[in-house]
Structure 1
């Protein structure tokens, strides 16, 4: 097996106009990734550029969605030491290529981002989010690229989409049973964006995420509000006019 990804045919074949060739290249890539305990950052960036254009060349929505899921599933076959660098290079690739995505192709990349975010949450949620170091490292990855508060090179469109799906994908992975300490760590990149972004619309979008009703429910805040509403309803019932007394 080639030691350098750029020396392997599957890299350029990922962007082939022929679907069969792309599928074969993706299969070769799976074998390559599953057998590497470490991969240099430059090689990961080259791999993600190939994968970006692999999706670029794929037409028909159902095939696009299947491919996006397949790309997200690569996280599951990676050596533990490769996962976070792999995800880091994914976000860097999306930030770099975002301005080149045509309107007619945007939907499939939005779907890919959703799948990759979900895959990252699933990976980190193993053992009930027990590897705190990895969770914190991934939060720094999000802070440095898709949710970077100050870097003008990061497209706001990418920021908005990640914010839009952030809680959705957390809900799919974590359900309602959240450890509050873990939840607050996962929200830190959004909180920092809300506090430090120089763009009012970005700060507003981040604030809306932090005020999501599901987060309140997971923290128990919604339950308390319901209790208050129930007490008010009971008080109101006690004071309700009972008609003219004899």
Structure 2
């Protein structure tokens, strides 16, 4: 898994078990990202390869949880034009690396995915569920984690996203009365998987999620 970016002191500091070192590295990254309105796709993929490695190397439960929270919070400092590209690089990285994650490390990456799906919905809530904003993020979910036919998207990742989808919508209060129209738009990725996935277990899983009593 070694690459140049993964060997830099900065990336190693992000994975440090002592909080002051980790916090300083995260602060530097937040400052860097907050000032970048245009982030090339290749640069973002390189960055996410490094961030994935940070999570990979994080070996204590409390550190893993704190790192997952901190990485998801990076979304909040991004200039608006950079949010979707940054999230796309995250999902593409998870798609690429998912099958390489061993059983002992999977739990922390499941948490990271949960935090990033939650961060996506938080962006929509803070944006007032504006139609264009919702459309761009729903399209991204349809493009990568909830892509119906792309064989490079591991079904394990699809299953996890389906599992946590309604939970994370509840966290941003989208299941409350009066928000039905917005909710229908945000549920499009699950409906797409239910109707169009060539894999029966995925269709069944999506159907079960859409039948959640909270909806």
Same fold (TM over 0.5): yes
Show the 5 A alignment for 1:13-28: 13-15=10-12, 18-19=16-17, 23-28=23-28
Check conservation: 1:125, 1:173, Cα contact below 8 A.
Answer: yes
Q: Is the 8 A contact 2:37 2:81 kept in 1?
A: yes
8 Å Cα contact 2:5-2:11 kept in structure 1: no
Instruction: State how far apart, in whole Å, the 2-side matches of 1:165 and 1:55 are.
Output: 20
**Cα deviation per residue 1:89-121 (whole Å; 9 max; x = unaligned)?**
111110001011111000000001111111110
Deviation at 1:177, TM superposition (A): 3.7
Provide the C-alpha distance between the structure 2 equivalents of 1:57 and 1:119, rounded to a whole number of angstroms.
23
SS of the residue corresponding to residue 132 of structure 2 reads helix
> How far is the alpha carbon of 1:127 from its aligned partner?
4.5
Once residues 28 and 4 of structure 2 are traced to their aligned partners in structure 1, the CA distance between those partners, rounded to angstroms, is 13
* Contact map agreement 1:143 1:189 (CA 8 A) in 2: yes
How many residues are aligned here? 209
CA contact (8 A) 2:16 2:58 kept: no
Structure 1 counterpart of 2:151? 152
Give the Å deviation of 1:128.
3.1
Query: Which structure is higher in RCO with an 8 Å CA cutoff and minimum separation 6?
Result: 2
Distance 1:95 1:178 in 2: 35
Aligned partners of 2:5 and 2:50 also within 8 Å:
no
Contact 1:147 1:190 in 2 (8 A): yes
Is residue 55 from structure 1 mapped to residue 55 from structure 2 by the alignment?
A: yes
Q: Which has the higher Rg, Structure 1 or Structure 2?
A: 1
1:1-246 equivalences under 5 Å are 13-15=10-12, 18-19=16-17, 23-129=23-129, 131-174=130-173, 175-215=175-215
In the alignment, structure 1 segments of 5+ residues that lack a partner are 1-5, 216-246
Q: Aligned-pair distance for 1:11? A: 5.7
Query: Which consecutive unaligned segments of at least 5 residues does structure 2 have?
Result: none
Contact 1:41-1:85 at 8 Å conserved across structures: yes
Q: Deviating runs (4+, > 6 A) in structure 1?
A: 6-10
